[in-house]
Amino acid sequence: MIDFEVNRERCTRCGSCSKDCPSRIIVMDDEGFPSIAADKEPSCLRCEHCLAICPAGAISILGFRPENSLALKGGFPDPKQLETLIRGRRSVRRYLPDNLDPELLQKLLDVASCAPTGMNSHQVRFTVLDDRAKVLRLNQEVMEGLARLDREGALLASKGYYGRFVRIWEKHRVDLIFRDAPHLLIASAPKSVSTPKEDCMIALSFFELFAQTQGIGTLWNGLASWAIDQLLPEIRRSLGIADDHMFGYAMTFGKPAVHYARTVQHHPANAYRP
């Protein structure tokens, strides 16, 4: 049941919802009001475009009512601000030890979970280490696991640098994998959805950008991702990442101990116009 409801007092019968429905299942009835036939409901993508586009706020669907949506007029950041955010976000590798306020952490995840997903599946799962003590424990387990693989000569030639990271950790307690971040986020998604990897990467991209507007630093963490997903599957399991889930990526984050004064500079886009 998708609970498609039309408030007939508000509906102006403009047909915008019908025209914008990606599955084209909204039809205008004999009186000119939109409706969805029961046998068409399974084709609904649950995208809520009908709720979003209605100028009169007349459409509710899936139990969501238009009055609980954010109004869009004038609400987007201006282009210059967004450009500065995209150009100015940095990979943060130095963190304060404090944990994030749990409410802020939840807010970051709620916003990231609004990222688009293939066929609107919205099945990205966020595995979050919400306390620095948990990341420290994980770091210890990862370092021990990597040290064992190194001793056994089981690190692939292409991943041999992990042995060096372990020795630096053992000798100097310098953490080149998690970078002493207080938090870790892993996005995963069921392999059965149409675009699991892409869904995870887009969600993490949204997470990163929104986090940086809140003064929270992030780091796309390939080193943690490969270690947990490919080299040490027992750790992946202990983090509760199901075997039928594709490991999207890991991202470390927290309050930065570093502040950048300006953007870096890039060459123009590598655009090819055939």
Ligand X SMILES: Cc1cc2nc3c(=O)[nH]c(=O)nc-3n(C[C@H](O)[C@H](O)[C@H](O)COP(=O)(O)O)c2cc1C
The residue within the footprint of ligand X, chosen from 40, 90, 122, 197 (CB under 6 A), is: 90
The residue within the footprint of ligand X, chosen from 58, 223, 227, 239 (CB under 6 A), is: 223
Distance CA(252)–CA(37), nearest Å, equals 46
User: CB of residue 199 vs ligand X: minimum separation in angstroms?
Assistant: 15
User: CB of residue 87 vs ligand X: minimum separation in angstroms?
Assistant: 9
User: CB of residue 230 vs ligand X: minimum separation in angstroms?
Assistant: 13
For residue 122, state whether it binds ligand X (rule: CB under 6 A): no
For ligand X, which stretch binds (CB under 6 A), given 65-73, 90-98, 114-122, 135-143? 90-98
Site for ligand X in 1-20 (CB under 6 A): none
Q: Compare residues 24 and 260 and give the one whose CB is closer to ligand X.
A: 260
* Alpha carbons within 13 A on the beta-carbon side of 204: 28
Q: Compare residues 27 and 155 and give the one whose CB is closer to ligand X.
A: 155
Distance CA(231)–CA(83), nearest Å, equals 37
226: phi > 0 → left, psi -120 to 50 → alpha, else beta; which? Answer: alpha
119: phi > 0 → left, psi -120 to 50 → alpha, else beta; which? Answer: left
- What is the DSSP secondary structure assignment for residue 74, as one 8-state letter? T
The residue within the footprint of ligand X, chosen from 12, 69, 84, 91 (CB under 6 A), is: 91
Q: Compare residues 6 and 219 and give the one whose CB is closer to ligand X.
A: 219
Across-strand partners of 187?
Answer: 126, 249
- What is the DSSP secondary structure assignment for residue 123, as one 8-state letter? -
DSSP-assigned letters across all residues of 144-159: HHHHHHHHTT-S-GGG
For residue 93, state whether it binds ligand X (rule: CB under 6 A): yes
Q: Compare residues 99 and 221 and give the one whose CB is closer to ligand X.
A: 221
Distance CA(183)–CA(10), nearest Å, equals 47
Q: Compare residues 135 and 219 and give the one whose CB is closer to ligand X.
A: 219
Dihedral over Cα of 218, 222, 227, 228: its sign:
positive
User: CB of residue 181 vs ligand X: minimum separation in angstroms?
Assistant: 11
Site for ligand X in 163-222 (CB under 6 A): 219-222
User: CB of residue 223 vs ligand X: minimum separation in angstroms?
Assistant: 4
Q: Compare residues 60 and 229 and give the one whose CB is closer to ligand X.
A: 229
For ligand X, which stretch binds (CB under 6 A), given 89-97, 117-125, 156-164, 166-174? 89-97
Angle, helix 196-213 to helix 102-112, in steps of 10 degrees: 130
Distance CA(192)–CA(25), nearest Å, equals 25
Size of the site for ligand X (CB under 6 A): 8
Structure tokens at 258: 């570093």
For the chain, the farthest-separated pair of C-alpha atoms sits apart, in whole angstroms, at: 78
User: CB of residue 65 vs ligand X: minimum separation in angstroms?
Assistant: 39
| Interacting residue ranges for ligand X, rule: CB under 6 A | 90-91, 93, 219-223
